[in-house]
Amino acid sequence: MMVSDDKGFIHWLQNHLLACPMKQTFGLDCPGCGLQRSIIALMQGDLIGSFKLYPATIPFLFVITFLIVHLKADFKSGAQIIKIAVGFVAFIILINYIYKIFTHQLI
């Protein structure tokens, strides 16, 4: 990923990403690899780049936001929506990882 020249919070984040333990020992991507880069891309306003790096980021952030609102406001069918959304996120994570395996993008 390109490290931008501008100073600031995003620049600081780009240089302080947490290392994936699987990547360190195996050298292979884990099912969660790309999440942090994807969030930074989202913070820079790059929706498509964020989706390409990790497709589950936007739905996952939606789930987290909806959970916070639901716990405050207590929607009638909020629990049902959360259940479906989490299933959807898990499905995306699985499909993304399988896609990565079959297109040899694991390094």
List residues near another protein by CB under 8 A: 20-22, 25-28, 30-33, 35, 60, 63-64, 67, 71, 74, 76, 78-80, 82-83, 86-87, 89-90, 93-94, 101, 104, 106-107
| CA 51 – CA 74 distance, rounded (Å) | 30
Q: How far is the CB of 90 from another protein (least distance, A)?
A: 5
Q: Which is nearer to another protein, 1 or 94 (CB)?
A: 94
Q: Which two tokens stand for residue 99?
A: 């896609």
Enumerate the H helices of the chain as residue ranges. 9-14, 21-25, 35-43, 47-53, 57-73, 78-102
Q: How far is the CB of 29 from another protein (least distance, A)?
A: 9
Q: Which is nearer to another protein, 7 or 72 (CB)?
A: 72
CA–CA distances in Å: residue 29 to residues 18, 71, 78, 97, 106: 14, 34, 34, 9, 5
Residue for token digits 């987290």?
64
Q: How far is the CB of 17 from another protein (least distance, A)?
A: 13
Q: Which is nearer to another protein, 13 or 106 (CB)?
A: 106
Q: How far is the CB of 42 from another protein (least distance, A)?
A: 16
